Amino acid sequence: MSRSAVHPEDPSVALPVAVVGGLHAEVRTAAVARLLADVPGSVALHHDLGSAPAGTVVRTVRDAGGVRSTGETPLVDDCACCALREDLVPELRRLAGAGGVPLAIVELWDSVEPKAMAEVIASGGFTVTGVITAVDPALLLPYLANGDDLAERGLAAAATDRRTVADTFARQLEYPPVLAVADSPEADDEDRELLRQLRPTAHQVPVDGPGGIRSPLAAAALAGVDLEAAAAAQHPACALLPAEADAHGVSTLVWHRHRPFHPERLYAALDELTCAAVRSRGRFWLADMPDTLFHWDAAGGALCVESAGPWLDSLPDAAWDMVPPVRRAAAALDWHPEHGDRCQHLVFTSPALERDGLHRLLESCLLTDSEYAAGPEAWRRLPHAFDTLLEV
């Protein structure tokens, strides 16, 4: 479990902290209310970033009986999330010092991502016992298909926030080990299957289920979480990507190859590939840049391609000792006798996925047999079609 070094007498050691986030605000608030009821004496902290345009962030502390206190903290560097980070740990320390709180619940504001806040809390010396995203299955597809900027929806956390609704929700969905799922009457089998295929390894617990300290939600909030493993599961080099699946009108295509992409043909196909699925992600390599591991991250009709550092095979042997074991393990699974860990590992998940056409398009972007036979030195001389995109 990831935690900072703390002194034995530090009261923060004795205060478990659970993080509950998600853009589905009604479900998130319901999950927090349920935790407050199920864990007697628990307290929830919430920073409302909606007041940021006025120059402040409003903090609310409440328990099952209602609001205990409110306060304001000024913006830091015109960034509401920065203000949250500056105010959150001191408030948790105050609660820990007062004693008698069996669980502190940090309810994140809509667009705040749980990974960053869980790591801030852990770096403050607290034990994060749960990280949960609240989800309404009926809203899953509308949010993942929403390419609007957060700023357009009044959800930006800073003036420089350029995230979209879709990519923010995707990260909220894919980071935490636990999903609190609403029993939504509007959700159908397709919605629930989409959630299952996007997060097959997540522990799903009902927001509305048996109550009490032993309820599934309370147990998940107090079970403990390995933040390092959660972060590694999102890193492009060793991400735990979904597996092949096809049920209830939803499909996941896993495409894995050991031949490099032709940069020009892949670049020409980006728009079609990006719109082929509601969510796609993974890692890939380009023939003209064989040492660079590229991250593919698409949602809401928008694609982010960026360098995620070197492939392990391109590093000198002496550097391998500095690579985390989880990265070495992931590389071993993909290892090719000629190319090392270089590979194409892309995963596309969507209702009504046109699998055959997508498969053909991806295959057409690889080097042909004659191009492949020309060898790595010839590959490096191919047009650098991605240079402009990577400079953005």
> What number of CA atoms fall less than 13 Å from residue 65's CA on the CB side?
4
186 occurs within a structural domain: yes
**Residue at 240 is within a domain:** no
d(CA 361, CA 261): 12
Q: Percent of the chain, pLDDT > 90? A: 76
Same domain, yes or no: 164 and 28: yes
- Among the candidates 232, 265, 299, a domain finishes at 232
pLDDT of residue 12: 53
Q: Which of 205-219, 354-368, 373-387 has the least mean pLDDT?
A: 205-219
Q: Tell me the average pLDDT across 132-146.
A: 97
Residue 392 has pLDDT above 60, yes or no: no
What does the pLDDT average to over 140-155? 94
Verdict on whether the full-model pTM lies above 0.85: yes
CATH number, domain with residue 157: 3.40.50.300
Helix then strand then coil, % of the chain, to nearest 5? 40, 25, 35
> 253 in a domain, yes or no?
yes
Phi and psi of 279, rounded to 5°?
A: -145, 130
Same domain as 29, residue 55: yes
Confidence of residue 171 (pLDDT cuts 50, 70, 90): very high
Q: What is the mean pLDDT of residues 38-57?
A: 90
Per-residue pLDDT, 232: 87
State pLDDT tens for residues 265-306: 999 999 999 999 999 999 999 999 999 999 999 999 999 999
Look at residue 312 and tell me whether its pLDDT is greater than 60: yes
Task: Say if 238 falls within a structural domain.
Answer: no
Half-sphere exposure of 199 (CA within 13 A, CB side): 27
Q: What is the pLDDT of residues 317-329, one digit of tens each?
A: 888 888 888 889 9
Average pLDDT over residues 365-392: 93
Q: How confident is the model at residue 8 (pLDDT cuts 50, 70, 90)?
A: very low
Please tell me the predicted confidence (pLDDT) of residue 6: 39
Pair (299, 342) in one structural domain: yes
Q: What is the reported pLDDT for 97?
A: 93
Confidence of residue 7 (pLDDT cuts 50, 70, 90): very low
Domain membership of residue 119 as a residue range:
11-232
**Which pLDDT belongs to residue 10?**
56
Q: Are residues 86 and 158 in the same domain?
A: yes
Q: Are residues 225 and 264 in the same domain?
A: no
Model confidence at 3: pLDDT above 80: no
Residue-level pLDDT at 74: 85
Same domain as 47, residue 77: yes
Mean pLDDT of 158-184: 93
3-state secondary structure of 281: strand
Note the pLDDT tens digit of each residue in 227-257: 998 988 888 998 889 999 999 999 999 999 9
For residues 107-132, average pLDDT: 95
Picking from 380, 386, 383, 361, the residue whose alpha carbon sits closest to that of residue 274 is: 361
Which of 38-52, 123-137, 147-161, 354-368 has the lowest average pLDDT?
A: 147-161
The Cβ of residue 159 has, within 10 Å, a number of other Cβ atoms equal to 13
Alpha-carbon dihedral of residues 121, 30, 240, 188, nearest 10 degrees? -170
* 309, 333: one domain: yes
At residue 1 the predicted structure's pLDDT band, cuts being 50, 70 and 90, is very low
- Residues 30-43: what's their mean pLDDT? 96
Domain end residue (candidates: 209, 232, 255): 232
Amino acid at 327: R
Question: For residues 151 and 161, is the Cβ–Cβ distance under 8 A?
Answer: yes
Q: Are residues 345 and 222 in the same domain?
A: no
CATH number at residue 349: 3.30.1220.10
pLDDT, one tens digit per residue, over 186-235 is 999 999 999 999 999 999 999 987 777 789 999 999 999 999 989 888 88
Same domain, 81 and 121: yes
Task: Report how many domains make up the chain.
Answer: 2
- Identify the pLDDT of residue 13: 57
Q: What is the mean pLDDT of residues 84-89?
A: 89
pLDDT for res 257? 97
The pLDDT score that the predictor gives to residue 125 is: 93
What pLDDT is recorded for position 335?
Answer: 93
All residues at 6 or more sequence positions from 282 whose CB lies less than 8 Å from its CB, including other chains: 236, 239, 241, 295, 296, 344, 345, 346, 347
Note the helical H segments in the chain.
25-38, 80-98, 114-123, 137-144, 165-174, 189-198, 216-222, 227-232, 263-274, 325-334, 355-364, 369-373, 376-380, 387-391
Q: Do 332 and 378 share a domain, yes or no? A: yes
